[in-house]
């Protein structure tokens, strides 16, 4: 059968994160203060984030050193393995070579601890006692719960209500790591109360949960806010994925023509793709780079590239990104981690520059691919990750139709062991391919803030 698994020794865990800002042909648009419309400075963000993370938001340095205590924790599961999906290739009868980087080997089962550990470390260093955050499907909440516990921080998680009800085991995992988890919208914040007054049956959204978590951090001196995706420093922390994958592709004697990741806020996609894109922008090989999103929340493919708020209650600064409007609430599809109205400014910028392409898929097609993958490769993908699997399968079938042999690399961002209800629903034929609500999208887009600087 030939080689199919590429592992690196612990001393190959990268010593630096890769900062793509150093290689961009055009800089990112500045982050704006929602009141003044002027670019914000580090001090404006100080109530919410530790200074180390704020400086990582804006630095132009290409390599950022990973603190040794963070690498020490990474050793629990890193370097993550890279696999060649030989059995899937056989099933598809494709001339393409398919590889995947598997991030499901982390304690919480996804890529998210890569940044959770770094953020917990920097907060601890700066004397913070408590972290406040939101979670969609529960992946981020459980990752921060794990990391916060290691560094002795109290963690409070606002979990989107639909997931809180669908995924009780994720909540149990957060509690196992010692975190506190409440359903959002909640009665614990002004933002939550305002939503509930208007929509008592609200199933919540990431935008609402972010408002609640930000509010708690803004009102408490000993508490900072922690975000699991979207921001530059979060994407930065994920670049160890792509750096390891580059070395492993070399071990395999191969080089990807196509690089794929699913995109909710953009962090696992960026983590794999940015080191490859950086190489390309510095004169290296040109690759096809694809971000995959759900058709029910089509931020990159149907959204507008404009300044918007990161949350529903408009407590965050304005960032320029692809957005469906901060009041847009996507339908309750199972890939909860992909249900965000916005997209990371860095990924949005790269799409606008034509360096990254975006596709959107309906969920049943993604589960078809996820089940096909599980039966061939043994790993059950998280519902979010099935979007990347589907794109890889489609590209491999395209190679077959065209009679071309390409090398495809995708990020398997996590396993689906806590999401088996989604698979049960899929097998029972209960999954619906909901499109987004066109009227709701129009209404949310009409609410976009007016920004003079544009
Ligand atoms: C959270 C999550 C995602 C989506 O978030 P990104 O920041 O876009 O990576 C994708 N896959 C898994 C398994 C997740 O937990």
Give residue limits of the domains in the chain. Answer: 5-12+67-109+233-446
- b/e 277-288 (16+ beta carbons within 10 angstroms → b): bbbbbeeeeebe
Query: By percentage, how much of the chain surpasses pLDDT 70?
Result: 99
Q: Is the pLDDT of residue 125 over 60?
A: yes
The C-alpha torsion from 279 through 281 and 282 to 285, rounded to 10°, is 50
CA dist 299 to 17, 294, 358, 393, Å? 27, 9, 9, 22
Our answer on whether the CB atom of 413 is closer than 6 Å to any ligand 1 atom is yes
Question: What would the pLDDT profile of 437-453 be if each residue is shown by its tens digit?
Answer: 888 888 888 889 887 55
The band of 151, judged by pLDDT with boundaries at 50, 70 and 90, is: very high
Question: CB 178: neighbour CB atoms within 10 A?
Answer: 14
**Range from 15-24, 142-151, 329-338 carrying the lowest mean pLDDT:** 329-338
Nearest CA owner, ligand 1 atom 2: 337
On the question of a cis peptide bond just before residue 185, with omega within 30 degrees of 0, the verdict is yes
Our answer on whether the CB atom of 50 is closer than 6 Å to any ligand 1 atom is no
Instruction: Give 30's DSSP letter.
Output: P
On the question of a cis peptide bond just before residue 105, with omega within 30 degrees of 0, the verdict is no
Our answer on whether the CB atom of 337 is closer than 6 Å to any ligand 1 atom is yes
At what angle are helices 267-281 and 240-251 packed, to 10 degrees? 60
Our answer on whether the CB atom of 414 is closer than 6 Å to any ligand 1 atom is yes
CATH number of the domain at 5-12+67-109+233-446, please? Answer: 3.40.50.1100
- Report helix, strand or coil for 107: coil
Distance CA 47, CA 220 (A): 9
Our answer on whether the CB atom of 268 is closer than 6 Å to any ligand 1 atom is yes
For tokens 């975006």, the residue is: 358
The structure tokens listed for 329 are 């609430």
The pLDDT of residue 73:
98
- Across the strands, what pairs with 133? 157
User: Separation of 452 CA from ligand 1 center, angstroms?
Assistant: 33
Distance CA 454, CA 450 (A): 9
For tokens 């990391």, the residue is: 147
For tokens 């806010």, the residue is: 225
Angle at Cα 424 formed by Cα 85 and Cα 136, nearest 5°?
Answer: 80
User: Separation of 186 CA from ligand 1 center, angstroms?
Assistant: 24
Q: Please, what is the average pLDDT of the chain?
A: 95
Nearest CA owner, ligand 1 atom 15: 139
* HSE-CB of 418 using CA atoms within 13 angstroms: 27
Does the pTM of the predicted model rise above 0.85? yes
Q: Is the pLDDT of residue 169 over 90?
A: yes
Nearest atom (ligand 1) to Cα of 263 = 8
Our answer on whether the CB atom of 273 is closer than 6 Å to any ligand 1 atom is no
- b/e 409-448 (16+ beta carbons within 10 angstroms → b): bbbbbbbbebbeebbebbeeeebeebebeeebbeebbeeb
- Quickly list DSSP for 281-305: HTT----EEEEEEETTS-HHHHSEE
| Residue 448: closest CA among 280, 311, 307, 310 | 307
Our answer on whether the CB atom of 208 is closer than 6 Å to any ligand 1 atom is no
User: Average pLDDT, stretch 235-252?
Assistant: 98
| Contacts for 123-129: CB closer than 8 Å, 24+ residues apart | 123/50, 123/151, 123/153, 123/224, 123/226, 124/151, 124/152, 124/153, 125/50, 125/52, 126/50, 126/51, 126/52, 128/50, 128/153, 128/222, 128/223, 128/224, 129/153, 129/154, 129/222, 129/223
| Residue 139: closest CA among 386, 362, 390, 416 | 416
Nearest atom (ligand 1) to Cα of 415 = 13
The pLDDT of residue 381:
98
Our answer on whether the CB atom of 138 is closer than 6 Å to any ligand 1 atom is no
User: Separation of 114 CA from ligand 1 center, angstroms?
Assistant: 12
Question: What would the pLDDT profile of 410-441 be if each residue is shown by its tens digit?
Answer: 999 999 999 999 999 999 999 988 788 888 88
Question: What would the pLDDT profile of 67-107 be if each residue is shown by its tens digit?
Answer: 999 999 999 999 999 999 999 999 999 999 999 999 999 99
Q: Is the pLDDT of residue 454 over 80?
A: no
Instruction: Give 379's DSSP letter.
Output: -
Our answer on whether the CB atom of 113 is closer than 6 Å to any ligand 1 atom is no
The structure tokens listed for 284 are 């290296």
Sequence-ordered strand ranges (E) for 201-276: 223-225, 258-262
Q: Is the pLDDT of residue 50 over 80?
A: yes
The band of 1, judged by pLDDT with boundaries at 50, 70 and 90, is: low
* HSE-CB of 205 using CA atoms within 13 angstroms: 24
Question: What would the pLDDT profile of 10-27 be if each residue is shown by its tens digit?
Answer: 999 999 999 999 999 999
Q: Quick one: 237 exposed, middle or buried, by C-beta within 10 A (0-12, 13-18, 19+)?
A: buried
């Amino acid at each position: 059968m030939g080689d199919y698994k590429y592992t690196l020794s612990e001393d190959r865990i990268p010593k630096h994160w890769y900062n793509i800002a150093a290689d961009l042909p055009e800089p990112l648009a500045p982050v704006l203060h929602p009141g003044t419309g002027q670019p914000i400075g580090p001090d404006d963000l100080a109530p919410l984030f530790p200074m180390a993370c704020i400086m990582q938001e804006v630095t132009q340095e290409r390599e950022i050193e990973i603190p040794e205590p963070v690498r020490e924790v990474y050793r629990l599961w890193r370097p993550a393995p890279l696999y060649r999906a030989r059995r899937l290739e056989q099933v598809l009868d494709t001339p393409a070579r398919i590889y995947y980087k598997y991030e499901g080997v982390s304690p919480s089962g996804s890529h998210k601890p890569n940044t959770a550990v770094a953020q917990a470390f920097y907060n601890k260093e700066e004397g913070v006692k408590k972290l406040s955050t939101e979670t969609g499907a529960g992946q981020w909440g459980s990752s921060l719960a794990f990391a916060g516990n290691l560094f002795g921080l109290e963690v409070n998680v606002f979990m989107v209500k639909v997931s809180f009800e669908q995924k009780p085991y994720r909540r149990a995992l957060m509690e196992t790591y010692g975190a506190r988890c409440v359903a959002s919208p909640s009665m614990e914040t002004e933002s939550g109360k305002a939503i509930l007054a208007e929509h008592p049956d609200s199933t919540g959204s990431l935008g609402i949960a972010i408002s609640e978590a930000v509010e708690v951090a803004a009102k408490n001196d000993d508490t900072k806010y922690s975000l699991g995706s979207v921001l530059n420093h979060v994407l930065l922390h994920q670049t160890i994925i792509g750096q390891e994958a580059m070395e492993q592709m070399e071990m395999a004697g191969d080089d990807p023509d196509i690089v794929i990741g699913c995109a909710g806020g953009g962090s696992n996609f960026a983590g794999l793709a940015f080191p490859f894109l950086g190489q390309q922008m510095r004169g290296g090989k040109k690759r096809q780079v694809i971000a995959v999103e759900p058709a029910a929340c089509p931020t990159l493919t149907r959204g507008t590239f404009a300044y918007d708020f990161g949350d529903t209650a408009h407590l965050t600064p304005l960032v320029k990104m692809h957005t469906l409007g901060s009041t847009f609430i996507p339908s309750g599809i199972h890939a909860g981690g992909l249900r965000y109205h916005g997209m990371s400014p860095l990924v949005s910028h790269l799409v606008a520059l034509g360096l990254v392409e975006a596709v959107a898929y309906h969920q049943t097609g993604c589960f078809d691919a996820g089940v096909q993958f599980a039966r061939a490769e043994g790993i059950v993908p998280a519902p979010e990750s099935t979007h990347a699997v589907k794109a890889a399968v489609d590209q491999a079938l395209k190679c077959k139709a065209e009679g071309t042999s390409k090398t495809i690399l995708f990020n398997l961002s996590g396993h689906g062991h806590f999401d088996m209800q989604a698979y049960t629903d899929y097998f029972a034929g209960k999954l619906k391919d909901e499109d987004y609500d066109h009227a709701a999208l129009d209404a949310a887009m009409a609410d976009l803030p007016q920004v003079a600087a544009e």
